[in-house]
Amino acid sequence: MRMFGHRRPRGSLPGLLAAAVLAALAVSEFRLHWVESLLGAYLAATNAERPETGLVWEQGRRARSALSVVEQMAGDREAQERRARNAGSLGEVLAALAPGQAVILSAEHFRELYRGLPAAIAEEIISPFELLQLAGEGRWSRTYLERSSDGLMIYLLEPGNRVLRQFRLAAAPLALVARGGEGESKTLEQIPVFRGRIYPAERFFAVLAELGEEERRGALPQPERLLGVAAQIRRVGISDEALGGLVEVGFEIRNAAGVRVILLQGQDWAVWRLRARMEGRAEAAPAGQAAAADSRGP
């Protein structure tokens, strides 16, 4: 006789419960995305401890580095332009500008810088009479200076940025302007162009007084700069190099702050005559200067 009993269910109760829980989790994840939220929170919490690796991290690092460099360059450029705008001499403007950089100055500021230039360099830029005419007309309002690798471009502008005049200061006189001023904590021996051509200040000024007015003005175009020195001038150095018809003359002074050298530029023919007299040599100008010297008379 066949015996019939109860059929066992296909799945056990624990299995059914597990399946129900998984189904509930799947439905809740589909609707709430809680797994992604938990994973995101975990990654954010452990972000500082994880090493920066991978393409995304590298791109982010490079972007931050590039931004920092750009900000630094912008800050440096702004500082350089600010120094140029506050400069007290054209040499200070040049020191603040790298090739390719430019600055805009007021007409009044440029006139002040122009007055501080050696006469020969100032004349090479523009005649002072022409500059006076432009200032008197009232149209010149600003000056645009642009530094290049081989000179300095100068644009005199009207209020609407129309160019009234433009000039180029070549590299040779520009180098003299850039070196002009005071060399802090230096002696004449520390400046190579003066080595072997250094003289007592008393001898220099005594011979200078023996020259004619034109020669004195040629050899020392800006004597007022030395009058403002609050110290005694001890020695004078004369360069043996001429740039753009100009020769550097260095005046060494000593005071409580130490030693420094004031650099001025004189016209080569006049400086050579003065130096020849100091050394007791005949006044026969070297090649390249004889014609200029002879044209000015004894």
Higher-confidence residue of 237 and 52: namely: 237
Average pLDDT, the chain: 75
pLDDT greater than 50 at residue 102: yes
pLDDT greater than 50 at residue 90: yes
Q: What is the tens place of the pLDDT at every residue in 111-158?
A: 988 887 877 778 888 888 998 898 888 889 999 999 888 888 999 999
Q: What is the tens place of the pLDDT at every residue in 157-214?
A: 998 889 999 988 877 677 767 666 555 567 888 888 888 899 999 999 999 999 999 9
57: confidence class by pLDDT, cuts 50, 70, 90: low
SS in 3 state form for 95-141?
HHCCCCCEEEEEHHHHHHHHHCCCHHHHHHHCCHHHHHHHHHHCCCC
pLDDT at 4: 43
pLDDT greater than 60 at residue 235: yes
